[in-house]
Amino acid sequence: MSFLQSTLKVYRIILFHSFLVVLHDLAGAADPPYKNCSSTANFTENSFQDHVISLFASLTSNASVSNFHQASTEDNPDSVYGLYLCYQYASKDDCGKCIATAALDIQKLCPNSNEAVVWEDKCQLRYSNQNFFGFLDVTGNIVQENTQNVSKAEQFPLLVNSTLHNLRNVAAFDPSAGMNAAQKVEFANETLHALVQCTRDLSPDDCNLCLETAITNISPWYFSRGARLLSRSCYLRYELYDFFGDAPRPPSSTPNPKKRAQLNWSRRLDIIKGIAKGMLYLHQDSRLRIIHRDMKPSNVLLDKDMNPKISDFGMARIFGGSDSAANTAKIVGTYGYIAPEFAMEGLYSIKSDVFSFGVILLEIITGRTNAKFHLSKHAPSLLAYIWQLWNQGKCLELIDPLSNDSHDDEFLRYMHVGLLCVQEDAYDRPAMPSVVKMLMSDTVTLCQPERPAFSVGRIADHHQTCYNNLSLNNLTMSDILPR
Ligand SMILES: *[C@@H]1O[C@H](CO)[C@@H](O)[C@H](O)[C@H]1NC(C)=O
Ligand SMILES: *[C@@H]1O[C@H](CO)[C@@H](O)[C@H](O)[C@H]1NC(C)=O
Ligand SMILES: *[C@@H]1O[C@H](CO)[C@@H](O)[C@H](O)[C@H]1NC(C)=O
Ligand SMILES: *[C@@H]1O[C@H](CO)[C@@H](O)[C@H](O)[C@H]1NC(C)=O
Ligand SMILES: *[C@@H]1O[C@H](CO)[C@@H](O)[C@H](O)[C@H]1NC(C)=O
Ligand SMILES: *[C@@H]1O[C@H](CO)[C@@H](O)[C@H](O)[C@H]1NC(C)=O
Ligand SMILES: *[C@@H]1O[C@H](CO)[C@@H](O)[C@H](O)[C@H]1NC(C)=O
Ligand SMILES: *[C@@H]1O[C@H](CO)[C@@H](O)[C@H](O)[C@H]1NC(C)=O
Ligand SMILES: *[C@@H]1O[C@H](CO)[C@@H](O)[C@H](O)[C@H]1NC(C)=O
Ligand SMILES: *[C@@H]1O[C@H](CO)[C@@H](O)[C@H](O)[C@H]1NC(C)=O
């Protein structure tokens, strides 16, 4: 255990889990509701207005059940068409309340309009005397920006831009996403929260177009600490505070702050290699075989020279002889990092630690956090997202925009090794000696990864890979089994 105990001066991990301070800083931006009331109607009768009111009653009754609904009253010539959209982070209860508020606001703000839309904090509501269902409308988009700028502005626009583009892809083209996508990304000592969402009457291509327009509209404000883009057909918002409404995490009480370093690419690779060697030691080189069972970034400590040390052996199991797997009724570990066979069956082995290592590796190179990654309620894992891009040959989109000195070939290789480690079937995962070999040498041929755990969905496997032009599978690495 001397490897572990030698660390006296430790710095709590500075990867991506630290210092979450929630700032409510919409300074300067007007508060919702926002509105657009078009052309005043010249009704001869009150029947249109009556229809509007009865339509709202019907929509409001739906809102506590479903986050999107469209309805119309069919009574020519005074038909009225309406729909609402509640944003991804609104609960059913929130949605019901929000639409009730929006229905009151729209009548107050837009009296006698034959077309109107209001945007609230958690929803938007629109009606018209024309049938607009299924029609993309990006005219009259409104930007609401926070007038406060970010203080260290060089990399923030890059991060916002790449985050929004990724989210747009998912919302438009991932059929399981429900036409929305949200994400949290650590930025310096703060967290970027971003959301994009389309009204569900749009086609995927129109959703993509709407969000593309929204991103273009908002791009001049990338220096702002937050902004919203209000459109009739879609919605986009990013903030440096948690507008999703999750419980804020308590600030960390570490002594680490002035020492926080920018982790450049080569340093990240060193940290990954260091963690791999530490695990190799536990699994094979120490006199007893130790399975850690709770590998996660906050259990990796960095010493003053940024060498990683694995810590917190509270969950570890020590094995004698040749045993390398066991079963337990008590599931321990941390959501986002535990292997499927352990989470579901209580079965753990050295391969369960390899899984956790793979998640950490992928987080370090992409700058994204698995446990906090919720692109949509249906595709909740970073692993699923990486697998999707891998099969689309788009891996380079995942490079952490804050590691601007990375090399594409190294990035692909590390991503490949990470994917091999998080394969669903523990048997397919390499053991740590192989992992270390793969990380240390760029001549070892890697085999094709199988689908990762927790990535069920309609993602086509082996459709295409990021190495289409490299020959894979010529040589399959066999695991070097521990003595
Ligand atoms: C983040 O760091 C900057 C200085 O780099 C500081 O001005 C700001 O207050 C910090 N924010 C938080 C939330 O600690
Ligand atoms: C208002 O009514 C007049 C005649 O009653 C009609 O010519 C005009 O097109 C109407 N305007 C709108 C916006 O419907
Ligand atoms: C919406 O409400 C109507 C009647 O108010 C109901 O018939 C319909 O099933 C509801 N739809 C949803 C999706 O809840
Ligand atoms: C309201 O929407 C219309 C139609 O899209 C647009 O022409 C107009 O500029 C918008 N008004 C405001 C104040 O944004
Ligand atoms: C924010 O940054 C933009 C772009 O650099 C600049 O034009 C604007 O004046 C800044 N606003 C404030 C309030 O500093
Ligand atoms: C934003 O990202 C897209 C795609 O990644 C790129 O084409 C575009 O030039 C970027 N725009 C800015 C302002 O960085
Ligand atoms: C990465 O950071 C380390 C420590 O700050 C530094 O020594 C090294 O030169 C950096 N590498 C690059 C490529 O910037
Ligand atoms: C990477 O980012 C750092 C800090 O913003 C900057 O000084 C450096 O020039 C950038 N390097 C490249 C290759 O863009
Ligand atoms: C694939 O081939 C193209 C051109 O033939 C090249 O530019 C690219 O770097 C290659 N990709 C990899 C991963 O080697
Ligand atoms: C892999 O196999 C392909 C065809 O089977 C061959 O063309 C290629 O040269 C092989 N690559 C290596 C590195 O052996």
| Each residue's pLDDT tens digit, 278-318 | 888 888 776 667 777 777 777 777 776 777 877 666 566 66
Provide mean pLDDT across the span 261-285: 82
The greatest distance separating any two alpha carbons of the chain, rounded to the nearest whole angstrom, comes to 91
Tell me which of 164, 165, 166, 397 to substitute to probe ligand 6's pocket, judged by most ligand atoms within 8 Å of the beta carbon. Answer: 165
Q: Is the peptide bond before 33 cis (omega within 30 degrees of 0)?
A: yes
pLDDT at 354: 93
- Higher-confidence residue: 473 or 454? 454
* CA 143 vs CA 32, 147, 164, 219, 418: distances in Å: 12, 12, 15, 10, 39
- State in Å, rounded, how far the first CA of the chain is from the last one: 19
Which residues are marked as active site? 294
pLDDT at 403: 72
pLDDT at 423: 93
Ligand 10 centroid distance, CA of 442 (Å): 16
Q: Are 387 and 395 in contact (CB under 8 A)?
A: no
- Higher-confidence residue: 337 or 28? 337
Q: Are 321 and 36 in contact (CB under 8 A)?
A: no
For ligand 3, whether the C-beta of 54 sits within 6 Å is no
Q: Whose CA is nearest to atom 12 of ligand 5?
A: 149
- Higher-confidence residue: 19 or 482? 482
Return the axis-axis angle of helices 265-280 and 350-366, rounded to nearest 10°.
170
Ligand 9 centroid distance, CA of 375 (Å): 29
Strand partners, 314: none
For ligand 4, whether the C-beta of 140 sits within 6 Å is yes
Provide mean pLDDT across the span 434-442: 90
Q: Residue 4 CA to chain centroid, in angstroms?
A: 33
Structure tokens at 461: 């496997």
Ligand 5 centroid distance, CA of 149 (Å): 6
* Ligand nearest to C-alpha 470: 9
Ligand 8 centroid distance, CA of 407 (Å): 14
Whether the pLDDT of residue 177 is over 90: the answer is: no
Closest listed residue to residue 33, CA positions, set 91, 92, 99, 88 = 99
For ligand 8, whether the C-beta of 404 sits within 6 Å is yes
- Cβ atoms < 10 Å from Cβ of 267: 16
For ligand 2, whether the C-beta of 42 sits within 6 Å is yes
Rounded Cα distance, 24 and 280, in Å = 44
Q: Whose CA is nearest to atom 1 of ligand 9?
A: 469
pLDDT at 297: 76
Report the 3 state secondary structure along 302-352: ECCCCCEEECCCCCCEEECCCCCEEECCCCCCCCCCCCHHHHHHCEEEHHH
What is the 8-class DSSP label of residue 31?
P
pLDDT at 128: 93
* Ligand nearest to C-alpha 467: 9
Q: Are 240 and 225 in contact (CB under 8 A)?
A: yes
Percent of the chain with pLDDT over 70: 72
Q: Are 234 and 197 in contact (CB under 8 A)?
A: yes
Q: Whose CA is nearest to atom 5 of ligand 9?
A: 469
For the stretch 368-410, pLDDT in tens is 777 655 554 444 578 888 888 888 788 888 887 777 778 888 8
pLDDT at 252: 31
For the stretch 113-142, pLDDT in tens is 889 999 999 999 999 989 999 999 999 999
Atom of ligand 1 nearest to the CA of 23: 13
- Cβ atoms < 10 Å from Cβ of 145: 20
Q: Whose CA is nearest to atom 12 of ligand 6?
A: 161
Rounded Cα distance, 329 and 344, in Å = 10
Model confidence at 448, pLDDT cuts 50, 70, 90, reads confident
Rounded Cα distance, 310 and 317, in Å = 14
pLDDT at 250: 30
Rg (CA), the chain: 26
pLDDT at 418: 96
Look at the chain and count its residues: 483
Phi, psi of 59 (to 5 degrees): -65, -40
Ligand 9 centroid distance, CA of 396 (Å): 12
Rounded Cα distance, 299 and 13, in Å = 7
For the stretch 192-240, pLDDT in tens is 899 999 999 999 999 999 999 999 999 998 989 999 999 999 999 999 9
pLDDT at 329: 56
Whether the pLDDT of residue 453 is over 80: the answer is: yes
Percent of the chain with pLDDT over 90: 30
For ligand 5, whether the C-beta of 40 sits within 6 Å is no
What is the 8-class DSSP label of residue 428?
G
Ligand 8 centroid distance, CA of 402 (Å): 9
Whether the pLDDT of residue 447 is over 70: the answer is: yes
Provide mean pLDDT across the span 51-66: 90
pLDDT at 175: 75
Rounded Cα distance, 296 and 338, in Å = 9
Rounded Cα distance, 357 and 290, in Å = 15
Q: Whose CA is nearest to atom 5 of ligand 2?
A: 42
Ligand 4 centroid distance, CA of 142 (Å): 8
Q: Are 193 and 22 in contact (CB under 8 A)?
A: no
Phi, psi of 57 (to 5 degrees): -60, -40
pLDDT at 142: 94
Phi, psi of 180 (to 5 degrees): -145, 160
Averaging pLDDT over each range in 26-35, 46-55, 153-162, 229-238, which range is the top one?
A: 229-238
Rounded Cα distance, 56 and 318, in Å = 64
Provide mean pLDDT across the span 451-459: 68
Q: Whose CA is nearest to atom 6 of ligand 9?
A: 469
Q: By three-state DSSP, how is residue 373 classified? A: coil
Sign of the torsion formed by the C-alpha atoms of 319, 321, 322 and 327: negative
For the stretch 36-45, pLDDT in tens is 998 776 665 5
**Ligand 1 binding residues, C-beta < 6 A:** 21, 23, 151, 189-190
For ligand 5, whether the C-beta of 219 sits within 6 Å is no
Q: Whose CA is nearest to atom 5 of ligand 5?
A: 223
* CA 269 vs CA 63, 362, 413: distances in Å: 48, 11, 11
pLDDT at 226: 92
Whether the pLDDT of residue 8 is over 70: the answer is: no
For the stretch 70-108, pLDDT in tens is 999 876 677 899 999 999 989 888 999 999 999 988 988
Provide mean pLDDT across the span 165-179: 85
For ligand 4, whether the C-beta of 176 sits within 6 Å is no
Averaging pLDDT over each range in 213-227, 270-284, 335-349, which range is the top one?
A: 213-227
pLDDT at 43: 61
Atom of ligand 2 nearest to the CA of 40: 13
Q: By three-state DSSP, how is residue 395 classified? A: helix
Structure tokens at 94: 């929130």
